[in-house]
Amino acid sequence: MKEVQVSGSIASHCSISGMETESRIQNVQEATSQDQSTSSPELTPNRRTQTCCFCWCCSCSRIPPPKRPDEVRLPTAKDAITLHDIKPDDIPSAEEVRHWRDSFDKVMQSCTGRQIFREFLRSEYSEENMLFWLACEDLKNEVDKRLVEEKARLIYDDYISILSPKEVSVDSRVRELINCSMANPTTQTFDEAQLQIFTLMQRDSYPRFLNSQVYKRLLQ
């Protein structure tokens, strides 16, 4: 008789845990929709329309752009995982989410934290900052010299060239250093640019993320 009661108690506890997980997922999904619907159009960056950049990547240099081999692929907006796609087991605990408030580093050190913050950046039309940061991390881990050169060129075309719609905001000094190093790129070519973008996200987007409905719902 006692064994039956214990089994019933365990089943009840599992049922409650499952309901709590489903409730947290639903809260996060609702918060995502709310944040995206209230995003200000003023956050949309002005896209440049220059026809010539007078730099390494320019089409007027008469050097055809390198073809992208199948094995070289950088993170793109299509790869962004939405909060609706996060599995129940990957939903962070409220305690982990509270630690994200301690520092921006805590968010970036968490795989789920990066995914959720990336989704928040998408709602602010600045997802290219995270994509660039991730691409630089991927480049740092590459050991094949040929792939290092290919990935560096793709990063330049996608995020540094002023002709790119996903151009990130780096200062002229860093941009010039990158232009000069593109003749022989290395895994450290974009280190200073990556640091500037990290700092930009930390100072600009991170405080708004902490005040967003997504973050507040995750705390529940």
DSSP codes joined into one string, 115-149: HHHHHHHHHTT-HHHHHHHHHHHHHHT---HHHHH
Q: What integer pLDDT is reported at residue 62 of this predicted model?
A: 43
pLDDT digits (tens, 9 = 90+) for 67-124: 454 445 555 544 444 555 566 666 788 899 999 999 999 999 999 999 999 999 999 9
CA-to-CA separations, 173 to 176, 180, 196, in angstroms, rounded? 5, 11, 12
Residue 42 scores a pLDDT above 70: no
What is the three-class DSSP state of 110? coil
Q: What integer pLDDT is reported at residue 19 of this predicted model?
A: 55
Ranges 48-57, 143-152, 158-167: which has the least confidence: 48-57
Q: What is the mean pLDDT of the chain?
A: 77
Burial 126-136 (b: 16+ CB within 10 A, else e): bbbbbbbbbbb
Residue 54 scores a pLDDT above 70: no
What is the three-class DSSP state of 60? helix
pLDDT digits (tens, 9 = 90+) for 133-145: 999 999 999 999 9
What is the three-class DSSP state of 76? coil
Angle between helices 127-140 and 191-200 (to 10 degrees): 150
Task: Assess contact for 166 and 197: CB atoms under 8 A.
Answer: no
